[in-house]
């Protein structure tokens, strides 16, 4: 005969796990980003960090919203005040050109 044993977490344990996940998300460092163009500067606003100033970069949290905007090319990462990251162009075989 097969014995089945189910264990369920209490509400307190579920809350504690959720708090751990949220705290881990909060401790991730922010990313310094700038808009790809003036239209994006005017239109884009991060839900928590807000919109861009008239010029310069801004620090946004490293979250799903920021990652999606980076993938879409709406914003660019800023490594230094004068150095920006540019996406690597790929050749036919998928190698950097």
Q: How does pLDDT run across 5-48, given as a tens digit for each residue?
A: 888 899 999 999 999 988 887 777 889 999 999 999 999 999 99
52/70 Cα distance (integer angstroms): 15
Question: Residue 6 domain-assigned?
Answer: no
- Residue pair 38/56 in contact (Cβ under 8 Å)? The answer is no
Question: Residue 7 domain-assigned?
Answer: no
Name the residue with tokens 């010029």: 55
Write down the pTM of the prediction: 0.56
Question: Residue 42 domain-assigned?
Answer: yes
Question: Residue 65 domain-assigned?
Answer: yes
Domain holding 68, by residue range, is 28-85
Number of domains in the chain: 1
Question: Residue 14 domain-assigned?
Answer: no
Q: Which of 75, 85, 93, 87 is nearest to 35 (CA)?
A: 75
Specify the pLDDT at position 80.
Answer: 66
Query: What is the DSSP-derived secondary structure letter of residue 27?
Result: T
């Amino acid at each position: 005969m097969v014995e089945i044993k189910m264990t369920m977490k209490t509400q307190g344990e579920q809350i504690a796990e959720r708090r751990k996940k949220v705290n881990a998300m909060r401790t991730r460092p922010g990313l310094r980003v700038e808009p790809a163009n003036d239209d994006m500067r005017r239109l884009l606003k991060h839900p928590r960090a807000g919109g861009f100033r008239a010029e310069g970069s801004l620090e946004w949290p490293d979250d799903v919203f920021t990652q999606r905007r980076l993938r879409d090319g709406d914003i660019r990462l800023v490594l230094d005040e004068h150095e920006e990251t540019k996406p690597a162009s790929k050749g036919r075989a998928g190698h950097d050109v």
